[in-house]
Structure 1
């Protein structure tokens, strides 16, 4: 969410914390009263099921109002699909690599030419097959959270104030091609967060920069990327460059389980406040998430796990073990937005996005994470993003002509403002 998570998933700290369901955005079969958003699918089973009954298809017209940045996001997916390495992850079920590429190209042509929501809906249903996520319960229930790229003050050298390092990838870390996970070179688990934060990597020249707050450093290592503001006002962007191979664990869940905070206090701001008031808890709580991310300087971006830029509200993070990389998704959920009086309330959100990221906590069919943007104001919204909904994907129907030629960027029809979030 590289922005992975690689951008800060403010919702990550909330995951698994609320047992009760929010009201689904659409009518679905009643889910369990205590949904397990982290339920794992049986080995070899994928998250998507093809919908052959048109009565189960969603109304795609809502996507017409949310097209700003969508074409560029789709072009970024096509950039990923040109990489030879992308072919290793297809076929996805019966979707070949060429079929996925043709689907993205055809989608770009559709959103360029659509003149109304009704036309968009009709064209999608005419030209594309529609798949739905099984969700956490085989009834389509997906928990949505939000993530963003934070901005933190940092220094390139340590001093009395800035003393919490972020590290480059160690040379004794390697990617296991069989598991797709990082491990110690030659085999075996790598250092856990507790060992790294206690200085196990010190003295090896791996320090990339230093932050002044331990919890801010934690946030960056959960997200997998960040925008850092140096002493001279210059911004220094860093991105994901590997991890220690350990599974993500929610510190929010740990705080609730230990009775240190209540569910109503579970927001990013609430956790920042808690650790500011209880700094002695950092040493006990943070190591309970053993996962740690390593970094490299980056320009542009922020970047997702596909190593292409992610776009506010047009990029999502899912579990790439069960969802298809780079493909076109359609989201139905609730997302917070600011009101005219400066408050925040949930709005119904129906819109298209590209599946371009993943995250340490996004490891199930019942989870999806929005990328919302950069900076503290966006971060507040990300921390409030926690709602159920549905998740669909579209693929060009077999026998329907695709775009026919390579798609070149051009301005979308009826361009809208670049206001983010866009409602």
Structure 2
């Protein structure tokens, strides 16, 4: 659930909320997004679309590997849908939502068509014969859905504090369940400058240290990270809990202060602005009182709210109180790397996030590392969201 990875635009969770990518065997966590604030959900549900959009997901037919990635993502949804957790999740859902068996049968048939169709045309024709599209009502019931993207970052880190590596990520305190409310704030835990160190109430629970303060903050936004240690080893951390403060987006704070317009803000621009104005970190980062704790994840893949690994470009995060978890969807979105305009892509709804709220928000997972970071940071704009379900 951690859309951990979020870093994408929402810019990095920066704008909208924490997003966590959780290791498979852990409890799901929230996801985040920097630029976009949570939106109250309308009362209306998914709406049957009278027609299919004109575009196609041509990426599925570029290589056999593209199709296999989609099949792998489908199999992960089917694996989760067969669990008691999925049965309970669907049992507790509103009556106007698709049931678990309908979602399962739809995934199984889509998978079969993907394996047996000769080309894009025959595949799309079969989908139109056998499936219906159910569209998200979007923001204010106007079908508009705002898209951002997230990724799993890789940062340099050290298992010991040094003059270079000074910004810690903390383990969940052993007595955290007994903390008094309201919980300590970010400023109280790490100080105005992030260097409270031995004077921090969490001193002694440090897990790892980073060299860059903004990077450490972004790991909080994402909820997990892949770290490159000074000894050459890779070390992964995942979400282990968080204080009960609402997420406050520093991206939104920058917009409200007139530093950027919402349309112009991207993750890259945000990072570059703080690199040029490092003194402002002590102004903006403490504004987000929410503080995240971490645990080692033994190299676990980026995992979403279904406790299944996420598939780059094929997994999305949505509000799971409104949308069917694990289901197949079609997005029409301004995806990074596309040659302008909106692209069509089949995806699996496999993650969520604390800032991903309402019918008008979707976060797309782009993978791990620098390339994923570059692509995710440029995704920020409106589009459409449809769920594919077999005709009844």
The answer to whether TM tops 0.5 is yes
Paired position in structure 1 for 2:73: 73
CA offsets 1:123-164 (integer angstroms, 9 cap, x no match) = 223222321011113121111111111110001111111111
Paired position in structure 2 for 1:82: 82
CA distance in 1, matches of 2:80, 2:55: 25
Paired position in structure 1 for 2:52: 57
- Of the three residues 353, 362, 367, the one matched with 2:361 is 367
Paired position in structure 1 for 2:135: 132
Does the CA-based 8 Å contact 2:317-2:356 persist in structure 1? Answer: yes
Going from structure 1 to structure 2, the CA distance change for 1:383 and 1:94 (only over 3 Å counts) comes to: closer
Shift of residue 239, structure 1, vs aligned partner: 1.9
CA distance in 2, matches of 1:334, 1:309: 24
Aligned 1:376-391 pairs, distance under 5 A: 376-391=370-385
Paired position in structure 2 for 1:197: 190
Aligned 1:37-56 pairs, distance under 5 A: 38-42=38-42, 45=43, 47-51=45-49, 53=50, 56=51
Secondary structure in 1 matching 2:11: helix
Quick check: 82-91 or 70-79, which moved more?
Answer: 82-91
**What are the ranges of 5 or more consecutive residues in structure 2 without an aligned counterpart?**
17-35
Going from structure 1 to structure 2, the CA distance change for 1:382 and 1:172 (only over 3 Å counts) comes to: same
Secondary structure in 1 matching 2:347: strand
Does the CA-based 8 Å contact 2:5-2:153 persist in structure 1? Answer: no
Length-normalised TM-score, structure 2: 0.83
- Of the three residues 123, 127, 143, the one matched with 2:126 is 123
Aligned 1:10-21 pairs, distance under 5 A: 10-12=9-11, 15=15
CA distance in 2, matches of 1:201, 1:323: 39
Does the CA-based 8 Å contact 1:310-1:356 persist in structure 2? Answer: yes
Paired position in structure 2 for 1:284: 283
Does the CA-based 8 Å contact 2:170-2:205 persist in structure 1? Answer: yes
Does the CA-based 8 Å contact 1:7-1:302 persist in structure 2? Answer: no
* 2:146 is equivalent to residue 146 of structure 1: no
Aligned 1:8-407 pairs, distance under 5 A: 8-12=7-11, 15=15, 38-42=38-42, 45=43, 47-51=45-49, 53=50, 56-59=51-54, 61-62=56-57, 64-65=60-61, 67-91=67-91, 92=93, 93-173=96-176, 184-185=177-178, 188-198=181-191, 200-203=200-203, 205-263=204-262, 266-298=265-297, 299-337=299-337, 346=340, 348-398=342-392
Secondary structure in 1 matching 2:172: coil
CA RMSD of aligned residues (A): 2.5
Secondary structure in 1 matching 2:342: strand
Does the CA-based 8 Å contact 1:265-1:271 persist in structure 2? Answer: no
CA offsets 1:53-75 (integer angstroms, 9 cap, x no match) = 3xx33347425446351110111
Paired position in structure 2 for 1:176: none
Shift of residue 288, structure 1, vs aligned partner: 2.0
Does the CA-based 8 Å contact 1:90-1:96 persist in structure 2? Answer: yes
Going from structure 1 to structure 2, the CA distance change for 1:186 and 1:281 (only over 3 Å counts) comes to: closer
CA distance in 2, matches of 1:265, 1:131: 32
CA distance in 1, matches of 2:291, 2:110: 37
CA distance in 2, matches of 1:150, 1:346: 25
CA distance in 2, matches of 1:72, 1:185: 41
CA distance in 2, matches of 1:95, 1:79: 18
Secondary structure in 1 matching 2:161: coil
**What are the ranges of 5 or more consecutive residues in structure 1 without an aligned counterpart?**
17-35, 174-183, 339-344, 399-423
CA offsets 1:75-111 (integer angstroms, 9 cap, x no match) = 1112222331222221443422232222222221121
Secondary structure in 2 matching 1:370: strand
Shift of residue 254, structure 1, vs aligned partner: 0.6
Going from structure 1 to structure 2, the CA distance change for 1:47 and 1:381 (only over 3 Å counts) comes to: farther
Going from structure 1 to structure 2, the CA distance change for 1:172 and 1:215 (only over 3 Å counts) comes to: same
CA distance in 2, matches of 1:125, 1:348: 21
Does the CA-based 8 Å contact 1:148-1:382 persist in structure 2? Answer: yes
Length-normalised TM-score, structure 1: 0.77
Secondary structure in 2 matching 1:241: strand
Does the CA-based 8 Å contact 1:47-1:135 persist in structure 2? Answer: no
Does the CA-based 8 Å contact 1:50-1:132 persist in structure 2? Answer: yes
Shift of residue 264, structure 1, vs aligned partner: 6.8
